[in-house]
């Protein structure tokens, strides 16, 4: 159980390096969260906290992917051009035909 917690701490610390509010903010929150739960002894409660940590990791990764996608979209398309492409894809005849099947 201890190694899982250590790996989770390391993974969250790594993910926090590029956190939008700043890495210092993230690491302070991370440290307080782990210190708050350091005295847990119930295995079920510990597992619940580990699962929550895994969920937070996945959410942070998803946020980074969305931010990366938005940055790439801004580089390659103007604001209205991206919306036009999206509407054309939604209204394409081949998309409607495949949806009916």
pLDDT tens-digit profile, the chain (101 residues):
668 888 998 999 998 888 888 889 999 999 999 999 888 889 999 999 999 999 999 999 998 888 888 888 777 776 666 667 777 777 775 555 555 55
pTM of the model: 0.64
pLDDT of residue 98: 53
Cα separation, 12 vs 27, in Å, equals 9
Using only the alpha carbons of the chain, give its radius of gyration: 21
Distance CA 61, CA 59 (A): 5
Write down the pLDDT at residue 71: 82
pLDDT of residue 47: 92
């Amino acid at each position: 159980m201890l190694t899982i917690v250590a790996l989770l701490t390391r993974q969250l610390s790594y993910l926090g390096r590029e956190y939008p509010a700043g890495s210092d903010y993230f690491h302070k929150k991370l440290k307080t969260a782990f210190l708050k739960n350091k005295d847990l002894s119930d295995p079920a409660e510990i597992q619940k906290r580990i699962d929550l940590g895994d969920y937070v990791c996945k959410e942070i990764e998803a946020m980074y992917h969305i931010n990366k996608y938005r940055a790439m979209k801004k580089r390659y398309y103007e604001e209205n051009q991206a919306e036009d492409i999206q509407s054309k894809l939604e209204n394409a005849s081949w998309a409607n035909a495949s949806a009916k099947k």
